[in-house]
Amino acid sequence: MTGLLGVLLPAVPLVAGLAGLLLPPAPRGAAGGEGPARRAAVALGVTGAAGALAVAVALLVTLDTPTEAGTTWLDLAGLRITLGVRLDGAAALVAVAVAAVALAVQVYSVGYLRRGPHDDLDVDHRYPPYAAQISLFTAAMLTVVVAGDLILLLVGWEVMGICSYLLIAHDRRLPEAPAAATKAFLVTRVGDVGFLLGIALLGVSAGSFRIADVLAHDHATGTLTAACLLLLAGVAGKSAQFPLHTWLPDAMAGPTPISALIHAATMVAAGVYAVTRLFPLFVAAPVALAVLGVMAATTLLLGAFAATAQDDLKRVLAWSTVSQIGYMTGALAVGAPAAALFHLLTHAAFKALLFLAAGAVIHAVGTTLMSRMGGLRRSMPVTFWCTLVGLGALAGLPPLSGFWSKDGVLAVAQTAALDGTGPAPAWVGWLVWLAGLLGVAVTAWYATRLLLRTFFGELREPLLHPHDPPALLRWPVLLLAVPAALLGLAAFLPAFADRLAVPAARLAVPADGPAEELVHLGPALLLPTVLLLAGAGLAWAGWRRDPTEDPARALGPLRPVLAAGFRLDDVQHTLVVRPVRALGRLARTADETVVDGAVTGTGRAARGLGGGLAALHRAALPRAAAGVLAGALLIGLAAVLIGVTS
Amino acid sequence: MRFGEFLLLAVLAVPAVGAVAVAAIPRDRAARLVGTVVAGLTLLLAALLATGDRSWTTWAAGTPAVRPWHRLDLPWVPGLDLRFHLGVDGISWPLVVLTALLTLLCCGYTLWRVPPGGSGRALVALLLVVEVGILGTFLALDLVLFFLFFEVVLLPMYAIIAGWGGSAVPGGPSARDAARAAARKFALYTLFGSVLLLVGVYVVVAAAGTADLVALTGGAGLSRGTQLAAFVLLGLAFAVKSPLWPLHSWLPDAHTQAPTVGSVVLAGVLLKMGTYGLIRVAVGVAPEGARWAAPVLGALAVTAILVGSLVCLAQTELKRLIAYSSVGHMGFVLLGIATLTATGLQAALIGNVAHGVITGLLFFLAGAVKDRTGTGSLAELSGLRETAPRLAGLLAFAAIASLGLPGLAGFWGEALAVVAAVQVGGAFWTTLAVLAALGGALTAAYLLRLLRRVTHGRPSPAVGRVAPGLAGAELTAWAPLVLLALAIGLAPTLVLGVADAPVAALVEVLR
């Protein structure tokens, strides 16, 4: 029964997506807009997501013990690939989050991608492929969530990548969208080279790609460390960790609901989730966890600082995603997958909320630049309050959800640092803990700045008459505000905590200690709260001095560097993109002149030789006669010689 | 004569007789229709070959490594001890069906559109002759017969490229001359390979005293020296056909200049004669030679992957880019063969079929784009999704399948080749696996570059004229390939299920 639910979970949106792809992509004739194809696409998309949500909730309710179900997909000699699901509490919870965000995005998109009264006549949102691609995206992420086999996980993993590519490139009016989409896919694909190799190493070592078999097998230490490090490359790509995070800010070229989908519960969450799935392997490979810790701390601070200097509302949120995922991978590095998953869930709620609310703002103002917003508090009260909840949760304001989950991460890091309890060395704990604490202050600073620049002060574009969005956009935002505010309190529910703790409970290592706690009430909570107030206070003070100026001016000469994300894009361009392009040109030239040149050269030489011989044979009589005689002489000589020797 | 023997004979006789009939029917359209029906009948017969007794499980020591489902063994030239020996097993059957399917699709496509240059019925007749040659190559169990069928393909293909192909190069020769030059290069280059094949065949036959592939597989009775010599000769011959870098340079010209149906057959099944020959003949007959040459083969295969992908990154012509992508994809197939493991051989088999399906589709689509816009230059193509969203969507699907997206057919061949290289282990093969996986990322890079150039952005003048619709004949020709790419991706056992036992038997004799 639960196995069937697990299969249905990705199957429902998959069917909706495939059916949606068959609809005509563009309306026939000029009528467009609300054609029958669009209505069918809306129905398919919403039904698919709602169906997935229903299945996920049913799974969450009925699943009491971890379940496996599956069948052989491919049996190679000594290597088995299975087509199966592996369900546990954490999988069910993440599935619910994925399906809920997908449903919100599907509903929101109906209102967001509609031809407005001010749009040009030729605006055609190509809604049927868009909705179908969201459905496929959801199906792919749910495949990753339930996959019981590494190859099946890879299928979901990569299909998600290609769907993100298609969706980021969806907006045909943005000239930068195709480049951003290509970059998103290629950067993650480079990481996936490592992911594939890691999977291959593990599968070959265990003789099976089934996750249960891989976890149960006793791998050689070297193989395991190499495999885990390789897997981390893929995780870094998907979850936008340094140095493969560069695609994520550019991915903002996608429509805003897509940003919400990619940043909240899918895509970027997949990397973290995959590590929790295979966590026992990482526990046995402390080197990989140490690398993950360094990656996490770097990403966390890099993302937070880059977010401080952005003027584009969506880019602030994008960089904040990079930074928040850093908290999750940090939690993994110090050995707390449950804390990572908890933050993943709360982040899914508040980041989806923030993006959809930002979409409402962009919809109303017609720009993504904060320097052209301001004073929206009065004219868009619903959006304002929802954004306030989201930003509070992001910064970790008690008692909103982010507070509890971030505290969970910091508390585990603290214990790992002070007591050295984590599976990785203690310095990893220190690194994650200190970076996390600094991150709290910086996060509070940029969250406050975003709020003040967008909603407070005076309206900078006086001609605009912004207003709260229509119901189709408003309701998803309002409903997402509930978990963004309250999900943190769920940690006090034993049922919730138990489900999240399932992956950790299977660990071989902490046999003595009690089950990991999600929330840690105590004096340690004060430190992050103080840092939060300090960060928010600084931003407020900067704004207070001159409400028309950007608090980011306090960054001084660092501002352009931070705004460009530490210029890592340029580094990537110089070190990877340009050399590869040059190599491509070189390979082409070499192939055409050397390899093919040798072939055509052979042909030409043969023809030349033939021509030469032909010319020789067209000799005048005296020379021809001399030739004949010389030949006769040679033959005679040869006959004599042979005759002598034999 | 039993049903299986009848099928084996019929699957060759029907297209052969059909080709004669098509050439004899004076009315062009009727002839093309007859040709299409014949191709359809051949596909039906090819599919039926899988019926009957496939008792593969009865494996026992001492049985030969090749155990066909059906076989037909008739004396042919008794004086020279030549036999007309055909058979089909799990290694050849998927390729036989693929050949029949692609020929049918090409004949159907020709029913709708004949490329300029000659009469449609002559083109269909030539396609059927090519089909006979390819099917015979896959079915032959006699080494000399194999060689004969291998050669049958050459001249009709030359005629197809020279007669119906051609696209002008700006500043270069005219379309006609370019097509002739490409066809000549194709014929001469592969003839050079055939000479080596002939010598290799006679080295083997002379040393072993038999040309029976069933008896020869496993290298029985061949000394080590003979095996090394035979593998070098046969391997080089098949490397030209596959093609393996650096013996590939006939391919881009031939693919670019061939008419759409010619490109589809070339890329879809003609190249597979090389990889099939490598597995069945070169590796099977000279296993010791194969083991000896495996590192070289693997290194060249990985070079092909990387060089092919890099050249694609700098390519400026649509069909030429797809042609070069074949070099990279066949590199994965050859890497799988080079590992000489069950996983690797399976990877090669499914890679073969997947490449046939996907690249066939890509060439159909590239042909459609070129027909509509009149140009294949990437600089002059842009914004296809604005004017022809369906065509752009299909092109995107084919490109995504070609870059090896998991869940579609192309994935299995590439991933399993990498897995097989990891499985062999050791520093050398692990390095090859890493480089091949990196080649996978480069593959994605050039295919996305292709999509970005052709489908995204504002429509260029050439693309602006394109009508959004697709012809019914086009959809009919493409739909089976789209569905197969999806079906093989989701259920790889469609191909590998039948190949399981023969590959295991082959690996058994390789040890």
DSSP A578-632: HHHHHHHHHHHHHIIIIIHHHHHHHHHHHHHHHHHHHHHHS--HHHHHHHHHHHH
Domain boundaries, chain B: 3-510
Q: Which of A163, A204, A583 to mutate to test the interface with B (most CBs of B within 10 A)?
A: A204
| Cα distances (angstroms) measured from residue B384 to each of A115, A383, B164, B455, B459 | 22, 38, 26, 4, 6
Query: Of all helices (H) and strands (E), which one includes residue B86?
Result: strand B82-88
Judging contacts by C-beta atoms under 8 Å, the chain B residues touching residue A203 are 419
Question: Residue A266 pLDDT more than 90?
Answer: no
Closest CA–CA distance from residue A439 to any residue of chain B (Å)? 34
Helix axes A401-419, A526-545, angle to 10 degrees: 120
Q: Which residue of B has its CA nearest to A576?
A: B442
Q: DSSP 3-state assignment of A220?
A: coil
Which pLDDT belongs to residue B94?
Answer: 92
Which pLDDT belongs to residue B1?
Answer: 65
Query: Of all helices (H) and strands (E), which one includes residue A68?
Result: strand A67-76
Q: Count CA atoms closer than 13 A to A181's CA, side-chain side.
A: 26
Which residue type sits at A177?
Answer: A
Judging contacts by C-beta atoms under 8 Å, the chain B residues touching residue A166 are 396
Q: Is B393 in contact with A189 (Cβ distance < 8 A)? A: no
Closest CA–CA distance from residue A416 to any residue of chain B (Å)? 35
**Residue/partner pairs of B472-476 with CB below 8 Å, 24 or more apart:** B473/B108, B473/B109, B473/B111, B473/B112, B473/B113, B474/B109, B474/B112, B474/B364, B474/B368, B476/B108
Q: Is A197 in contact with B406 (Cβ distance < 8 A)? A: no
Q: Tell me: the pLDDT tens digits for B167-208?
A: 766 666 777 888 888 898 899 888 989 999 999 998 888 888
Query: Of all helices (H) and strands (E), which one includes residue B495?
Result: helix B493-510
Nearest to A25 among B188, B311, B393 (CB): B393
Nearest to A162 among B386, B405, B425 (CB): B405
Closest CA–CA distance from residue B283 to any residue of chain A (Å)? 19
Q: DSSP 3-state assignment of B74?
A: strand
Entry pTM: 0.91
Judging contacts by C-beta atoms under 8 Å, the chain A residues touching residue B507 are 77
Quote the tokens at residue A442: 């910086």
B13 CB contacts (<8 Å, ≥6 apart)?
Answer: none
Quote the tokens at residue A216: 């149960």
Q: Is A189 in contact with B444 (Cβ distance < 8 A)? A: yes
Q: Tell me: the pLDDT tens digits for A376-409?
A: 888 888 899 999 999 999 998 888 998 989 988 9
Closest CA–CA distance from residue B200 to any residue of chain A (Å)? 22
Q: Tell me: the pLDDT tens digits for A356-370?
A: 999 988 888 888 888
Q: DSSP 3-state assignment of B72?
A: strand
CB atoms within 10 A of CB A379: 16
| Cα distances (angstroms) measured from residue B97 to each of A434, B5, B45, B329, B333 | 63, 17, 9, 21, 19
Judging contacts by C-beta atoms under 8 Å, the chain A residues touching residue B248 are 595
Give the residue ranges of DSSP H helices in B28-153: 28-48, 93-112, 120-139, 143-152
Question: Residue A32 pLDDT more than 90?
Answer: no
ipTM at complex level = 0.90
Q: Which of A588, A602, A604 to mutate to test the interface with B (most CBs of B within 10 A)?
A: A588
A288 CB contacts (<8 Å, ≥6 apart)?
Answer: A225, A228, A229, A231, A232, A282
Question: Residue A115 pLDDT more than 70?
Answer: no
Question: CA–CA separation, B503 vs B506, rounded Å?
Answer: 5
Query: Of all helices (H) and strands (E), which one includes residue A71?
Result: strand A67-76
Which pLDDT belongs to residue A3?
Answer: 82
Q: Is B448 in contact with A182 (Cβ distance < 8 A)? A: yes
* A514: confidence class by pLDDT, cuts 50, 70, 90: very low
Nearest to B456 among A169, A185, A200 (CB): A169
Question: Residue A508 pLDDT more than 50?
Answer: no
Residues pairing with A451 in the sheet:
none
Q: Is B422 in contact with A200 (Cβ distance < 8 A)? A: yes
Nearest to B415 among A179, A196, A600 (CB): A196
Q: Which of B190, B247, B310 to mutate to test the interface with A (most CBs of A within 10 A)?
A: B310
Judging contacts by C-beta atoms under 8 Å, the chain A residues touching residue B425 are 204
Nearest to B433 among A151, A179, A197 (CB): A197
Quote the tokens at residue A435: 């970076």
Nearest to A204 among B246, B423, B444 (CB): B423
pLDDT in tens, chain B (511 residues): 688 888 899 999 999 999 999 888 888 888 899 999 999 999 999 998 888 766 544 445 556 777 888 888 888 888 777 888 898 888 899 999 999 999 999 999 988 888 887 888 889 999 999 999 999 999 999 999 999 999 999 999 999 998 888 776 666 677 788 888 889 889 988 898 999 999 999 888 888 888 888 888 876 778 888 889 999 999 999 999 888 888 888 888 888 888 999 999 998 889 999 999 999 988 888 888 899 999 999 999 999 999 999 999 988 889 899 999 999 999 999 999 999 999 999 999 999 999 999 999 999 999 999 888 888 888 888 888 888 888 999 999 999 999 989 889 999 999 999 999 999 988 999 999 999 999 999 999 999 999 998 988 888 888 888 888 888 888 888 999 999 999 999 999 888 888 888 888 888 887 7
Judging contacts by C-beta atoms under 8 Å, the chain A residues touching residue B342 are 76-78
Arithmetic mean of pLDDT over chain A: 86
> Kindly report the CA angle at A114 between A111 and A115, in degrees rounded to 5?
150
> Kindly report the CA angle at A245 between A244 and A248, in degrees rounded to 5?
135
Residues pairing with B83 in the sheet:
B75
Closest CA–CA distance from residue A306 to any residue of chain B (Å)? 28
Judging contacts by C-beta atoms under 8 Å, the chain A residues touching residue B436 are none
Q: Is A197 in contact with B442 (Cβ distance < 8 A)? A: no
Judging contacts by C-beta atoms under 8 Å, the chain A residues touching residue B411 are 155, 158
Judging contacts by C-beta atoms under 8 Å, the chain A residues touching residue B441 are 186, 189-190, 192-193
Judging contacts by C-beta atoms under 8 Å, the chain A residues touching residue B444 are 185-186, 189
Dihedral sign (CA A390, A394, A398, A401): positive
Closest CA–CA distance from residue A74 to any residue of chain B (Å)? 6
Tell me if A166 sits within 8 A of A128, measured CB to CB: no
Judging contacts by C-beta atoms under 8 Å, the chain B residues touching residue A154 are 406, 415
Which residue type sits at B437?
Answer: A
Question: CA–CA separation, B251 vs B363, rounded Å?
Answer: 14
